[in-house]
A and B are shown apart, each in its own frame.
Chain A
Amino acid sequence: MDAEDLRRAITRIAHEIVEHNHGLERVVLVGLQTGGVPLARRLAETLRDIEATEVPVNTLDVAFYRDDIGLRPVLPEAVTDIQSDLTGCTVVLVDDVLFTGRTVRAALDALNDYGRPRSVQLAVMIDRGHREVPIRPDYVGKNLPTRRDEMVDVGQEGVEVGSMQK
């Protein structure tokens, strides 16, 4: 995927969010630190262009909710910033890559501590498979079959697949 493909995917996902929710009333975006945050911002810009509505963008770091605390180094990348009261809202979680699903599971736990959303949806740029928990995305930029030991990187210029450096 190059930068243009990325832009088209974001535009399509934005349209799907509007269509699926019959507008943008009480829709809130929550970008997962760190890869989901720039995507959430771009989604909000696109949503503004197509619906002329300002959708709040919040950011969430799930470090303290992970299930592998103590098993590997876990440190937050950034401070969580959730200004909206999520109770009664439709929350769209945004992340760059969906892999095992454990980050999303942790994010669902974290969201609970900020209120009770009416519903939670999941938007990801890349679904690379290998799920370890029963989680599925509502909006997908691209399904990208990978090997477990590969790395997927979503940047401004597009998506790259590399080998895991360890």
Chain B
Amino acid sequence: MRHLLSVADLGADGLDELLRLTESFVEVSARAIPKVPALRGKTVVSLFYEDSTRTRLSFETAAKRLSADTMNFSVASSSVKKGESVRDTVETVAAMGVDAMVVRHGSAGVPWQVARWADVAVINAGDGWHEHPTQALLDCFTIRERKGSLAGLRIAIVGDVKHSRVARSNVLAFSLLGAEVTLVAPPTLLPPSLAGWPVAVSHDLDDVLPKADVVYLLRMQRERQTEALLPSLREYTSLYGLTRDRARLLGDDAIVMHPGPMNRGVEIAAEVADLPGAVITRQVANGVAVRMAVLFMLLGSGGDLGA
């Protein structure tokens, strides 16, 4: 059984193939009837142990546009409240005969465990601080749509890298596709070690912005910050927020991205999110097409995802 757990599993070729397949699903999504019968009779279940709006709805929309049946599971209204373990829940759901599980969990590695426990295709929709591969795919697709290719692009990833699974997956994906990645963050919001990361590091956003083709702002993840990593949010915004003044440093063709949900006024100014260079709603739209491609690749194509 094949899964999508990490961007690293895909490799450059797998990424490229998925992005190419996504184009077909962008076309499907643009039609008057945006639905194809490709996954009729397949069942996709979302197993979300963490809150989510866009990822869960995006996967659900993607599955429905492929004519798959969808089931939803959220912790708040499930037997998890009665103390059921993840393994028992997974085995129970698998016994109902599902074809794919879309898993989000607050702990890194849970999707790998699920793949071991159940004989279904598993898609990692975010595991702790670790990875969020479909986010990286939709970001790569959005950049390609605007820039043609990622090769040689200078991409700045700004903000709370330490707690960000989006950053980890994107660093992998961007560098696999040939972009130069610079992380911009205060030292307290960087991981303790960056050994082996194919990135440059800067603490000066004003210096990085004029040279950047893509500015990727991360959400300040206040719910994951257990200690005082910042003197104050205001100080963070004044040094690392993409304020209106700072946005003037951007090149004319630079694009601004954010995985959502945005903290307007913290990492991004309210007006900046609405500037022409901001592709944030485009990211959401492409997210559906990318997830259709992933589901189709795993359940429909008979093709192989990566190695």
A79 touches B300 (CB 8 A): no
Question: Which of chain A's residues has its CB closest to B39's CB?
Answer: A69
Which A residues touch B32, using CB under 8 A? Answer: 113-115
Residue of B21, B39, B66, B299 near A76 (CB, 8 A) is B21
Given contacts A113-B31, A113-B36, contact A72 B302 (CB under 8 A): yes
Residue from the list B21, B28, B35, B300 in contact with A69, Cβ < 8 A? B300
A102 to chain B minimum Cβ distance, whole angstroms, is 14
Contact yes or no, B21 A75, CB < 8 A: yes
A65 touching B301 in the complex, CB below 8 Å, given contacts A80-B24, A114-B31: no
**Interface presence of B279 (CB below 8 A):** no
List of B residues within 8 angstroms of A69 by Cβ? 38-39, 300-302
Judge whether B23 and A64 touch: CB under 8 Å.
no
CB within 8 Å for A113 and B35 given contacts A70-B299, A80-B27: yes
Q: Does chain B have a CB within 8 A of A73? A: yes
Task: Kindly state the separation between the CA atoms of A159 and B24 in the bound complex, as whole angstroms.
Answer: 30
A72 to B300, alpha carbons, bound, how many Å?
Answer: 9
Contacts A69-B38, A113-B35, A113-B36 given: A61-B299 contact, CB under 8 Å? no
Q: Is the CB of B301 within 8 A of A73?
A: yes
* Closest partner residue, chain B, to A62 (CB atom): B36
A113 to B37, alpha carbons, bound, how many Å?
11
Residue of A nearest to B26 (CB): A79
| Complexed CA–CA distance, A64 and B65 (Å) | 11
Chain A 76-114 near chain B by CB (<8 Å), digits 1 or 0 = 100111000000000000000000000000000110011
In the assembly, what is the distance between CA of A153 and CA of B6, in Å? 40
- Determine the distance from Cα of A96 to Cα of B33 in the docked complex, in whole angstroms: 28
- Determine whether the beta carbon of A74 is less than 8 Å from that of B302: yes
Query: Which of B255-307 touch A at CB < 8 Å?
Result: 296, 299-303
Interface residues contributed by chain A, number (CB under 8 Å)? 20
Query: Could you tell me the distance between the alpha carbons of A109 and B27 in the complex, rounded to whole angstroms?
Result: 16
Given that A65-B38, A79-B24 are known contacts, is A70 also in contact with B300, CB under 8 Å in the complex?
yes
Decide if A61 touches B300 in the complex (CB within 8 Å): no
Query: Chain B CB within 10 Å — which of A69, A81, A115 has the most?
Result: A69
**Are A73 and B303 neighbours in the complex by a CB distance under 8 Å?**
yes
Taking the closest CB of chain A, its distance from the CB of B120, in whole angstroms, is: 14
Chain A hits for B37, CB < 8 A? 64-65, 109
The answer to whether B38 touches A75 (Cβ under 8 A) is: no
CB within 8 Å for A70 and B302 given contacts A65-B36, A65-B37, A65-B38: yes
A11 CB to closest chain B CB (Å) equals 33
- A40 at the A/B interface (Cβ < 8 Å)? no
Residue of B nearest to A78 (CB): B24
Residue numbers in A under 8 Å from B39 (CB-CB): 69
Could you say which residues of chain B place their CB within 8 Å of the CB of A113? 31-33, 35-36
Asked if A63 is an interface residue, CB under 8 A from chain B, the answer is yes
B301 pairs with A79, CB closer than 8 A:
no
Binding site for A on B (CB under 8 A): 21, 23-24, 26-28, 31-33, 35-39, 66, 296, 299-303
* Chain A residues at the B interface, C-beta cutoff of 8 Å: 61, 63-65, 69-76, 79-81, 109-110, 113-115
* A to B CB contacts below 8 Å, 28 in the list: A63-B24, A64-B28, A64-B37, A64-B66, A64-B300, A65-B37, A65-B38, A69-B301, A70-B299, A70-B300, A70-B302, A73-B301, A73-B302, A74-B300, A74-B301, A74-B302, A75-B21, A75-B301, A75-B303, A76-B24, A79-B26, A80-B24, A81-B27, A109-B37, A110-B36, A113-B32, A113-B33, A113-B35
